[in-house]
Amino acid sequence: MAWATADEPIRPDTALDLSPARRAVDGLARAGQRIPGSGLFLIGAFSQYVGTAIAVTLFAVIPAPSVAWARLTVAALILTAWRRPWRLRWPARRWALAVGFGLALASMNVLFYLAIDRLPLGTAVAIEFSGPLVVAAVGARRWRDAGAVVLAIVGVLLLADVSWAGSALGVVFALGAGTMWAGYIVLGSRVAAAGDGVDGLAVGLLAGAVAMAPLLAAGALPAIQDGWLLAACACVGLLSTAVPYALDQIVFRRVGRARFALLQSMLPATAAVVGVLVLRQIPSPPELVGVALVVLAVATSASGRTE
């Protein structure tokens, strides 16, 4: 993907001899310059949950954590082939930052998949959201921001339909996923601020996929032996990781850490919309109230700010 070029010029060594596909992607990147950061975030969010809907169909054949590893690996291969990060002339500190970012990202995904193996999805989502909401609260500088965080918390809890009937281990995994989510926001904003953009994302994804391979690669072997499974894993990696996380790098640079953390609260609302359109899951009245509160929280935080 060429979203990194939305905020930085195309490098001279990559501007020549572009394939038609890469020329098309660069055109999309230029078009993306006219889309507000919140709009790019929504595009990435819908892409993520469409990919998640595909991933759900794979759980009967591939263990959930291995599906998480497969999506990371596919995204790492896509972005690494495009960005070719081995050509970068980074100091050691920037390499370490990108690797740490990738490990947080990989851990976040794997821990969340482990949590939803043991807890109801709503419970796991509610607990995991403790991470970005804490980041948003720490970054709040106005009473309006603090009120928006409160609205987001109430809305997320209503959407999640919290139930504490799950296992203690599942709660531990969900809290770990929330902690890694907070780390993803903090480290990701630093990667974006350093101007590394999707280059840092490519390095991070590759590092995370390699680190998790000894534990999870074996579970993904059925996909290698079945063309349809392999294609489904590729779609999950592209839609759930490569597209939304690449867009995140642009949004990080445009809106800042606290605003980005609050934008993350739109994910349950986005998931509810995808559930209606793709999975035919009709939200209950409390869930509809939760969607309204989350949207109100984002609107409250956004008022008086420019991107």
Fill in the amino acid letter for 296: L
Residue 12: inside a domain: no
Q: How far is Cα 39 from Cα 34, in angstroms, rounded to an integer?
A: 10
String of DSSP letters for 165-180: -S-HHHHHHHHHHHHH
Contact between 198 and 25 (Cβ < 8 Å): no
Contact assessment for residue 186 and residue 33, using Cβ atoms and an 8 Å cutoff: no
CB-count exposure of residue 150 (10 Å: 0-12, 13-18, 19+): middle
Residue type, 8: E
Of 34-48, 97-111, 288-302, the poorest mean pLDDT is in 288-302
- Give yes or no for a contact between 131 and 200, defined as CB atoms under 8 angstroms apart: no
pLDDT-based confidence at residue 269 (cuts at 50, 70, 90): confident
Judge whether 26 lies within some domain. Answer: no
Q: Which two tokens stand for residue 38?
A: 């919140």
What range defines the domain where residue 128 resides? 38-302
Q: How many domains does the chain have?
A: 1
Question: What's residue 290's pLDDT?
Answer: 76
Q: What is the pLDDT of residue 306?
A: 47
The C-alpha angle with vertex 301 and arms to 298 and 307, in degrees rounded to 5, equals 95
Can you tell me the mean pLDDT for 77-82? 84
**Residue 1 placed within a domain:** no
Q: Place 12 in a pLDDT band, splitting at 50, 70 and 90.
A: very low
**Is 8 inside a domain boundary?**
no
Does the pLDDT at position 298 exceed 80?
no
The reported pLDDT for the residue numbered 23 is: 53
Shortest CA distance to 131 belongs to which of 166, 147, 107, 159?
107
Q: What is the pLDDT of residues 31-50, one digit of tens each?
A: 556 677 778 888 888 888 88
Q: Which residue type, as a one-letter code, is found at position 134?
A: V
- Whether residue 303 is predicted with pLDDT greater than 60 in this model: the reply is no
Tell me, yes or no, whether 24 lies in a domain. no
pTM: 0.72
Is residue 6 assigned to a domain? Answer: no
With respect to residue 202, please indicate whether it lies within any of the assigned structural domains.
yes
Instruction: Output the pLDDT for position 1.
Output: 32
d(CA 211, CA 195): 25
| Highest mean pLDDT (candidates 244-248, 262-266, 286-290) | 244-248
Is the pLDDT at 76 greater than 60? The verdict is yes
Tokens, residue 121:
């999805």
Are 184 and 129 within 8 A, CB to CB? no
Nearest in space to 192 (alpha carbons), one of 13, 8, 44: 8
160 lies in a domain? Answer: yes
Nearest to 271 by CA among 119, 164, 129, 73: 129
